[in-house]
């Protein structure tokens, strides 16, 4: 049986609140030096550990924030997820907040999942899902502080990378390196971030009098799938079959870029000689690649810092910006 403040109080012939006040460091309470001494010593001796659950029930606060991803095919194993969560982990640690890694709740209905989020265990939620997720509507009218991480959700405060500027930098860079025929490779899945990237890509190309810039939409499994599904092979073939064969490919994220590079390698093509390849996110560990990837690096720690700020502001009852945009930089690697 764990030792409680009551146990200490009984042992010392004090009241339980006195012990609690001393041990929890209540503001504006000055215990007599002797009492304080005795309590602290008894606590140490008896191995007292304050019960966080009781404290939370009383204080309606847990100092725990949740992390939930609605893309149930995504796990922490994905480099992308790992980058996001790694940033949050570091930042939360510094603020003495712990992260409750909520299940993906496979096979459960929205209301059930919502219930798991608002049952008092967390003070706020980092949400990573799509705007269409039915959970979003529930959360939007709920009292639970939420921040959408890394994809913008109109109805929730969001913290996202600067998609527009990232693409601008990419096109600037490729253009300056002499590329004129650039293709954009996007997923089929709908994501606001990706929409913005595609739109900016078209705009930037149009500015340079390329009105029919190539955009290819192809879904592909990424993450920890054990086999390449070959979709990037097909995408590459599509690229190569274009009347005006592109000299550069702008991929919507890093795994997509890596898959494309592998498809190139299979055909004996090498980046950037035969095709320049650029990614987005900077989620992969460059040290583990044979060829470093040119990509738009998202500062995950900064993004996490902003996200936690937005969450805490809400927890403290403040107003927060609808959308916080984090600046990105072009990371020049060996592929473009």
Partner DNA sequence: ATGAAAGCGCTAACAT
Partner DNA sequence: ATGTTAGCGCTTTCAT
**Chain positions contacting DNA, by CB under 7 A:** 1-2, 4-6, 13-18, 20-21, 23-24, 26, 29-32, 34-36, 48, 50-51, 54-55, 57-60
Nearer to DNA by Cβ, of 60 and 106: the residue is: 60
In the complex, least distance from residue 211 CB atom to its own copies, rounded to whole angstroms: 35
H/E stretch holding 249 reads strand 248-251
Among the listed residues 256, 259, 254, 335, the one whose alpha carbon sits nearest the alpha carbon of residue 298: 254
Residue 57 or 140: the one with the smaller Cβ distance to DNA is 57
Q: How far is the CB of 326 from DNA (least distance, A)?
A: 35
| 160 vs 195: CA distance, rounded Å | 13
Distance separating alpha carbons of residues 105 and 103, to the nearest angstrom: 5
For residue 138, the cross-strand partners are none
Burial of 205 (0-12, 13-18, 19+ CB in 10 A): buried
State the binding partner of 209 from DNA, its own copies, none, CB within 5 to 8 A by kind: none
Q: Are 331 and 295 in contact (CB under 8 A)?
A: yes
- Please state the closest distance from residue 323 (CB atom) to its own copies, in A: 25
Q: Minimum CB separation from its own copies for residue 64, in Å?
A: 7
Does 8 help bind its own copies (rule: CB under 8 A)? no
Give the three-class secondary structure for 319.
coil
Please return the burial class of 27, using the count of CB atoms within 10 Å of its CB with bins 0-12, 13-18 and 19+.
exposed
Collapse the DSSP code of 21 into the 3-class scheme (helix H, G, I; strand E, B; otherwise coil) and give the result: helix
140: contact with its own copies by CB under 8 A: no
Q: 309-321: b or e for each residue (b if 16 or more CB lie within 10 Å)?
A: bbbbbbbeeeebe
User: Shortest gap between Cβ of 12 and DNA (angstroms)?
Assistant: 8
Considering the complex, state which of residue 48 and residue 67 has its C-beta at the smaller distance from DNA: 48
CB 204 within 8 A of CB 234: no
- Asked if residue 98 binds its own copies (CB under 8 A), the reply is yes
Among 32, 33, 226, 316, binds its own copies (CB under 8 A): 226
Q: Return the closest-CA partner of residue 300 out of 91, 65, 73.
A: 91
Under the criterion CB under 8 A, does residue 218 sit at the interface with its own copies?
Answer: no
User: Does residue number 224 form part of the binding site for its own copies (CB under 8 A)?
Assistant: yes
Q: Which one of the spans 15-23, 115-123, 155-163, 200-208 is the region binding its own copies (CB under 8 A)?
A: 115-123
Which lies closer to its own copies via its Cβ, residue 86 or residue 187? 86
* Residues at the site binding its own copies, with contacts judged by CB under 8 A: 2, 49-54, 56-57, 62, 64, 67, 75-79, 81-83, 85-87, 89-90, 92-94, 96-106, 115, 118-121, 143, 222-228, 255, 258-259, 261-262, 265, 284-291
């Amino acid at each position: 049986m764990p030792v409680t403040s009551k146990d200490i109080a009984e042992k010392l012939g004090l009241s339980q609140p006195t012990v609690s006040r001393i041990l929890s460091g209540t503001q504006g309470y000055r215990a007599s030096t002797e009492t304080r001494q005795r309590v602290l010593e008894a606590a140490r001796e008896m191995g007292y550990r304050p019960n966080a659950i009781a404290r939370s029930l009383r204080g309606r606060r847990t100092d725990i924030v949740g992390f939930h991803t609605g893309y149930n095919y995504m796990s922490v194993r994905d480099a992308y997820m790992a980058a996001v969560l790694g940033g949050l982990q570091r930042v939360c640690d510094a603020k003495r907040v712990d992260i409750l890694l909520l299940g993906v709740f496979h096979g459960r209905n929205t209301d059930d999942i919502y219930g798991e989020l608002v049952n008092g265990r967390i003070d706020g939620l980092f949400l990573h899902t799509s705007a269409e997720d039915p959970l979003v509507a529930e959360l939007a009218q709920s009292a639970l502080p939420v921040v959408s991480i890394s994809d913008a959700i109109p109805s929730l405060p969001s913290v996202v990378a600067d998609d527009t500027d990232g693409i601008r930098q990419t096109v600037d860079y490729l253009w300056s390196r002499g590329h004129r025929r650039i293709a954009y490779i996007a997923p089929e899945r709908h994501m606001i971030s990706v929409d913005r990237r595609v739109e900016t890509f078209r705009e930037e190309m149009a500015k340079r009098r390329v009105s029919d810039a190539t955009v290819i939409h192809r879904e592909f499994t990424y993450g920890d799938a054990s086999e390449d599904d070959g979709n990037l092979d097909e995408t590459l073939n599509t690229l190569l079959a274009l009347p005006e064969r592109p000299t550069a490919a702008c991929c919507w994220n890093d795994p997509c870029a890596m898959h494309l590079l592998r498809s190139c390698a299979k055909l004996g093509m090498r980046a950037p000689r035969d095709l320049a390849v650029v990614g987005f996110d900077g989620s992969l560990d460059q040290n583990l690649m044979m060829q470093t990837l040119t990509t738009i690096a998202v500062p995950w720690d900064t993004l996490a810092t902003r996200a936690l700020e937005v969450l805490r502001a809400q927890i403290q009852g403040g107003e927060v910006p609808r959308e916080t945009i984090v600046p990105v930089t072009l990371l020049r690697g060996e592929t473009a």
